[in-house]
Structure 1
Amino acid sequence: MTLRIGSLELASPVVLAPMAGVTNVAFRTLCRELEAERAGSTSGLYVCEMVTARALVERQPATMHMTTFAPIETPRSLQLYTVDPEYTYAAAKMIVDENLADHIDMNFGCPVPKVTRKGGGSALPYKRRLFGQIVAAAVRATEGTDIPVTVKMRVGIDDTHHTHLDAGRIAAAEGAAAVALHARTAAQRYSGQADWNEITRLKEHVTDVPVLGNGDIFAAEDAAAMMAQTGCDGVVVGRGCLGRPWLFAELSAALNGREIPTPPTLGEVTAIIRRHAELLADHHGEDKGMRELRKHVAWYLRGFPAGSDLRSSMSLVSNLTELDDLLSRLDPTVPFPKDAEGPRGRQGSPGNVALPDGWLDDPEDDSVPAGAELMHSGG
């Protein structure tokens, strides 16, 4: 089962969703290595952390560091957060001129209050004209290249203000090569269940470019079920891979009719944690790399018998030598536990969406929201 996005021909219709503080070069490399090792190939699309268009154009050091790609990463995929057509064009043109990536995704799905209260993320598609101008700017900057532009979004702001059907139509009309839908509203955040019926509606509404589905894919069977139920062309996986970077091998195998690899034992997970730590240390330096690893360890050990003292020590690990000692205390023969399956990451609670004053007054207003482009990368 393949997926074509513009010039990109992917052997697997599986995309890693960009996640702030997670999908850096270390995690993406690990996912690719495990897919190659456990499924025999690297075939999906692995998207970099979200970066802010203005921060990229201004070459803020932290943002430039986030755009690091490993030699094995092909194609290289970069997601932009933007609210301004001018900065969008400048950032996309910079990506083209400096060969920074092979694919540009655009974030219109972030539900975080500090993003939506400035009119960004999942708030922005409500402003239809501005949304269209932003997508058009990115497409214009990539004209004459093989770099496709895609859009990721949510169902809408809340149950009263759905935006995905208009946004999907506009994105395709402005030249986007694919659209991806997280089947929740911004008000839901990550709570409850994703409404896959909205993916079906979008697929029926947008027929000239691929439609990808996102939301509640925690196992290979979930991806197959979403594609069968909705008719979507591919799946985008976010929280389901937290502490399970081998999930992409399982998804690739399932969707291409191969046997799904056996989940790893605790000994295999230990080796994966150690490799992740090594990659993080290479990217960030050992001190920051170990601080970044701490949150991942909690996800990796979910459901395994590790003990509260060891888990607590792992949450404070500060160097590779200390990590090696702690990992040596785990029983390598323990099989992957059933308790480790299912939803991962923070579900949170639904709530009112923070928006700029008067944001809902006029969906045709194309004024750029004040201050939103001043945010640093990561959303």
Structure 2
Amino acid sequence: MSHRPLPPPPLRIGDLVVDPPILQAPMAGFTNAAFREVVRQFGGAGLLATEMVNARGFVWMDQNEAEHPDRLWGVAEEARPLAVQIWDNDPETMAKVGVRLAREYKVSVVDINFGCPVRQVTEKAHSGSYLLREPDRMFAIISRLVEVCAPTPVTAKIRLGCSPESINANEVAHVVEEAGAAALTVHGRTAKDMFRGHADWERISEIKQHLKKIPLIGNGDLDSADKVVAAFKNYDVDGVMIARACLGRPWLFAQAAAALRGDEIPPDPTLVQQRDVMLRHYRLVVDRFGEEKGTVLMRKYACCYAQGKHGARHFRSHVANVASAEEFYSVVDQYFPQDRPAVIA
């Protein structure tokens, strides 16, 4: 187990320097351009990522001259560094998309999803975490993407295994490195666990000894600046990735970065300020998708912003049905949590 002094050194993914070594996880349905812009305004995230993109769907859209996936909204224009995560189980399909991302979109990192546990991706499409049982296919996918994307680095995100009875992350880590990937991210649960229980950081840390030259990024249950500091202090990782905890708290990255520097951790914004952040987020979504679709998409984000606050359940019950800007602003004005002692709602 490592006990390195803080702050940790910058993370190197190929030629890309990620500083601070704190990454924003790709999360389907959430980490779109509006969310990334809000995170960027607070700072603290060394590398941001898109939602995971279905490679097969991208190719179909391209062949049929349809608009590229909504999940690539903003990618061409926004600030770098930026990673795009893609998934499928066919090396050539992945290569077609990877080379476009590297050459035309000029992304900083092409990340491969080998960790998604959702049935639609695993059992129906034999992708995501399903491929952990097929290391040879993983090798083929990674090596092909490395070949066509160079010099853009290719990375992989995995879970510990498909189930607690079939943990094979050490073997898979070797395959990922041998295939030429520039970094490995490990979520400390198995696919069968979904998001239940606790991430096993001891098992994440053990993987480091099976890697010769590429960095290891740990992911799972990092919901405070103190936990980020503890991850670097107690476990043998080169970087950390923050996922669900940041959805209603995009300032978490800035807090974690300050803690790693040894600076005083900035306090959470006041509830009034948090409401203003949410409204700014809402306007970005509506600008892209229009009022009707944007309002519906914003419902889930609004619930995240309220989570853990006094009156959150009451707010969620009302915001879950809004369908227009007028309704959204009205519900926020009436029901968004006010400055009171926080309790879990």
Name the TM-score, length of structure 2 as normaliser: 0.90
CA distance in 1, matches of 2:175, 2:70: 32
Matched, 1:110 2:116: yes
Matched residue, 1:57: 59
- The superposition leaves residues 303-329 of structure 1 with CA deviations (integer Å, 9 ceiling, x where unpaired) of 323376544322222233333333333
- What SS does the corresponding residue of 1:160 show, helix, strand or coil? helix
Cα deviation code 1:324-376 (max 9, x no counterpart): 33333368861673648xxxxxxxxxxxxxxxxxxxxxxxxxxxxxxxxxxxx
Q: CA RMSD in A?
A: 2.0
Q: Give, in angstroms, the shift of residue 3 of structure 1.
A: 1.3
Q: Distance in 1 between matches of 2:31 and 2:82?
A: 13
Q: Which residue of 2 aligns with 1:19?
A: 27
- Give the distance between the partners of 1:335 and 1:33, measured in 2 at CA: 26
* Structure showing greater relative contact order (alpha-carbon pairs closer than 8 Å, 6 or more residues apart): 1
Tell me the distance in 1 between the aligned counterparts of 2:192 and 2:312: 36
Does the aligned pair in 2 maintain the 1:53–1:81 contact within 8 Å?
Answer: yes
Structure 1 residues 62 and 217: CA distance shift in structure 2, 3 A: farther
CA distance 1:134–1:262, shift in 2 (3 Å): same
Task: Pick closer, same or farther for the CA change 1:257–1:164 going to 2, 3 Å.
Answer: same
Aligned residues: 332
Structure 1 131/283 Cα, relative in aligned 2: closer, same or farther at 3 Å?
Answer: same
What displacement does 1:272 show? 0.9
Q: Does 1:153 align with 2:158?
A: yes
Q: Does 1:320 align with 2:322?
A: no
Q: 1:33-44 maps to which residues of 2 (within 5 A)?
A: 33-35=41-43, 43-44=45-46
Q: 2:255 aligns with which of 250, 254, 263?
A: 250
8 Å CA contact 2:23–2:46 kept in 1: the answer is: yes
Find the aligned partners of 1:200 and 1:307 in 2 and give their Cα distance.
36
Looking at structure 1, the residues matched to 340 and 250 of structure 2 have their Cα atoms a distance apart, in angstroms, of 17
Give 1:102 deviation, angstroms.
1.9
Q: 2:215 aligns with which of 210, 218, 224?
A: 210
Note the 1:328-339 alignment, pairs <5 A.
Answer: 328-329=333-334, 334=339, 337=342, 339=344
User: What does residue range 260-271 of structure 1 map to in structure 2 within 5 Å?
Assistant: 260-271=265-276
90-99 vs 321-330, which moves further = 321-330
Q: Which letter does structure 1 place at the counterpart of 2:139?
A: G
Verify the 8 A CA contact 2:102 2:110 in the aligned structure 1.
Answer: no
Counterpart-to-counterpart distance in 1, 2:145 and 2:334? 51
Relative to structure 1, is the Cα distance of residues 174 and 298 closer, same or farther in structure 2, using a 3 angstrom cutoff? same
1:1-379 aligned at under 5 Å gives the runs: 1=8, 2-35=10-43, 43-59=45-61, 61=66, 63-69=68-74, 71-117=77-123, 118-143=125-150, 145=151, 147-306=152-311, 310-329=315-334, 334=339, 337=342, 339=344
Q: Is the 8 A contact 2:162 2:191 kept in 1?
A: yes
Query: In 1, Cα distance between the equivalents of 2:35 and 2:120?
Result: 25
What amino acid does structure 2 have at the position aligned with 1:116? T
Unaligned stretches of 5+ residues in structure 2:
1-7
Alpha-carbon offset, residue 43 of structure 1: 4.6
Q: Could you say if the C-alpha distance between residues 253 and 193 of structure 1 is closer, same or farther in structure 2, counting changes exceeding 3 Å? A: same
Shift >4 Å, 4+ stretches: 60-63, 307-310, 330-333
In 2 relative to 1, CA 328–142 (structure 1 residues): closer, same or farther, beyond 3 Å? Answer: same
Give, in whole Å, the separation in 2 of the partners of 1:312 and 1:331. 11
Aligned to 2:3: none
User: SS of 2:52's equivalent?
Assistant: strand
Letter in 1 for 2:182: A
Note the C-alpha offset of 1:173. Answer: 1.3
Residue 157 of structure 1: SS of its match in structure 2? Answer: coil
Deviation string, structure 1 residues 143-183 (Cα, Å, up to 9, x no partner): 2x3x1110000000112212211111111111111000001
Letter in 2 for 1:18: P
For 2:329, give the aligned amino acid. Answer: D
Q: Distance in 2 between matches of 1:309 and 1:123?
A: 38
